[in-house]
Amino acid sequence: MLTIGQLASYAGVTVRAVRHYHQIGLLPEPERDASGYRRYGATAVVSLIKIRTLAEAGVPLSRIGTMLAADASSFAAAIDRIDRHLSEEIQRLEASRKQIAQLAAGDSASLPPEVISYLGRLRDIGASERMVQAERDGWILIAARWPDHIRTWIPVKVAQLRDERIVRLYRVLSEALDSDRVDDRLLEEAADIMVALAEEAEAAGEVEGPPEGEDDELPFDLLDALADEADPRAQRLRDLMRKRGWSGWNRTERVTERGLFSRG
């Protein structure tokens, strides 16, 4: 006859595990002998080894009791169900590993590959990591609302990087964001570039807004709010643009004399 310590050692589990199995009714608890100790026989050893084996195979403790009492065919069916469940769990974990790998590389699992590639282009033109992170968060908002339009928009954004003014804008904003203080010189230059680009787009009849056929302003409001929450210089930049007759941060619009917005 074995003590609880000897039983646990023989079956390869801890004494604490044995007591837990007693508590949940998985392993019968023997009566104490005349000396006050609980003694375990060979049957308890076999039962405990079976419990340990099933638990290590991933079978939930809540199912082990039923499986131990099942006949051969019922036991095999239960094992098959558990195997299918484990296969599904393995697939889920593999998908999670891929997402974790993307995050570890500094990319977001919330973004399509086209955007990830575009963010790499921003790094190539000299945008700071803080600037790239701000762009990434903005694209997360856009991709969540208009995922089907990403493949159309990204080539346009990439083509815009051939414009030296836009390259300069990203570099100026990067320098401003990385500075420990508000540098109005940099923000003034950024505002001048953005207004020049907005006036050029207005002259060409290019209107910024939601995709054709949709009337959803919320993503643009969220983009402005995201910029404000990330850095107070975003609001300062919008103030400088307003002085030049334009509003917005992610979508520039001309300000009317009454202070209302129009799209030209």
Owning domain of residue 253: 108-262
The pLDDT value recorded for residue 41 is 92
229 and 154, same structural domain?
Answer: yes
Average confidence (pLDDT) over 220-236: 88
| Tally of domains within the chain | 3
**For residue 210, what pLDDT is reported?**
67
In terms of domains, do 131 and 51 share one? no
165 and 84 in a single domain? The answer is: no
Give 120's pLDDT tier (boundaries 50, 70, 90).
very high
pLDDT (tens digit per residue) in 47-66 = 999 999 889 888 889 989 98
Confidence class for position 84, pLDDT limits 50, 70, 90: confident
**144 with 254, same domain?**
yes
Query: Is residue 118 located within the same domain as residue 17?
Result: no
Mean pLDDT of 159-167: 96
The pTM is what? 0.58
Do 220 and 232 have their domain in common?
Answer: yes
* Model confidence band, residue 104 (pLDDT cutoffs 50, 70, 90): low
Collapsing DSSP to helix, strand or coil, 255 comes out as strand
Cα gap 48→19, rounded to integer Å: 11
